[in-house]
């Protein structure tokens, strides 16, 4: 137990040194650090192994309007760092944490604005799209006033088979409720804000009732 506590402290210290200056916050006492962008977030996870002490590094990106979905995409950055001794582990974890900081900045640069996210989602929705691709596309199109495109994506959601899973059923029901609000853009936006608020609570992020204010500067069709 002493070694586990020691290597956990080393990870926490290295992550704080690399990520706190970027504005990332640690989720409680976990190995997850969060970069909050109001309606989306980056999670940096120093993932433990089930076989030995140490850490992987995972980067997760989530659009927060998907209330029951984990992450829109994730990837692993770097190799597993095993813990052998504090002397061996400390510099290697410092390097891994520095990599995490680079990845956070890279993802921030990729999604500097809502338009960047919209473009990314549009591309994803043309490459063998699944339920989540259609949901993301429906929501972002509706939020910028492209109701016709949003309606087409909601039609695909309506025929998606959600049987056999509570979370699938909930996700589909929520999406179809959003679809009924397409002709009432203010109500649609309020419903999306409510979804984001729920997801922010689940992720232990602070409330943000103005999370979509950025969209007010986007020209509508």
- The predicted-structure confidence for 153-173, as pLDDT tens digits, reads as follows 999 999 988 777 788 888 899
Tell me: do 134 and 58 sit in the same domain. Answer: no
Tell me: do 78 and 48 sit in the same domain. Answer: yes
Check if the beta carbon of residue 56 is closer than 8 Å to that of residue 37: no
Predicted structure pTM score: 0.90
pLDDT of res. 111: 95
pLDDT tens-digit series, residues 112-136: 999 999 999 989 888 878 888 999 9
- Which structural domain, as residue segments, surrounds residue 53? 2-110
Cα–Cα dist 2/59, whole Å: 28
Cα–Cα dist 115/40, whole Å: 13
Tell me: do 134 and 56 sit in the same domain. Answer: no
Tell me: do 21 and 105 sit in the same domain. Answer: yes
pLDDT per residue, tens digit, the chain (221 aa), is 344 478 889 999 999 999 999 999 999 999 999 999 999 999 999 998 877 888 999 999 999 998 776 788 899 998 899 999 999 999 999 999 999 999 999 999 999 999 999 999 989 888 878 888 999 999 999 999 999 999 999 999 999 887 777 888 888 999 999 999 999 999 999 999 999 999 999 999 999 999 999 888 775 65
36: nearest Cα among 100, 104, 102, 97: 104
Cα–Cα dist 174/70, whole Å: 16
Cα–Cα dist 43/77, whole Å: 13
Counted domains in the chain: 2
Tell which of 67, 90, 110 closes a domain. Answer: 110
Tell me: do 136 and 106 sit in the same domain. Answer: no
Cα–Cα dist 26/197, whole Å: 19
């Amino acid at each position: 137990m002493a070694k586990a506590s020691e290597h956990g402290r080393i990870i926490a210290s290295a992550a704080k040194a690399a990520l706190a200056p970027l504005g990332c916050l640690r989720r409680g006492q976990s190995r997850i650090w969060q970069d909050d962008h109001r309606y989306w977030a980056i999670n940096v996870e120093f993932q433990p192994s089930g076989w030995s002490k140490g850490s992987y590094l995972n980067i997760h990106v989530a659009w927060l309007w998907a209330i029951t979905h984990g992450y829109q995409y994730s990837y692993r950055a770097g190799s597993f760092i095993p813990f052998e001794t504090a002397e061996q582990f400390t510099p290697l974890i410092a390097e891994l944490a520095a990599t995490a900081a680079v990845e956070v900045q890279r993802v921030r640069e990729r999604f500097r604005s809502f338009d960047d996210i919209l473009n990314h989602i549009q591309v994803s929705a043309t490459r063998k799209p699944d339920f989540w691709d259609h949901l993301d596309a429906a929501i972002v199109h509706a939020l910028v006033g492209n109701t016709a495109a949003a309606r087409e994506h909601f039609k695909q959601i309506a025929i998606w088979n959600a049987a056999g899973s509570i979370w699938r059923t909930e996700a589909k029901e929520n999406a179809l409720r959003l679809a009924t609000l397409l002709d009432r853009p203010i109500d649609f936006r309020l419903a999306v804000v409510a979804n984001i608020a729920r997801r922010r609570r689940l992720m232990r992020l602070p409330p943000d009732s103005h999370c979509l204010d950025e969209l007010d500067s986007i020209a509508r069709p």
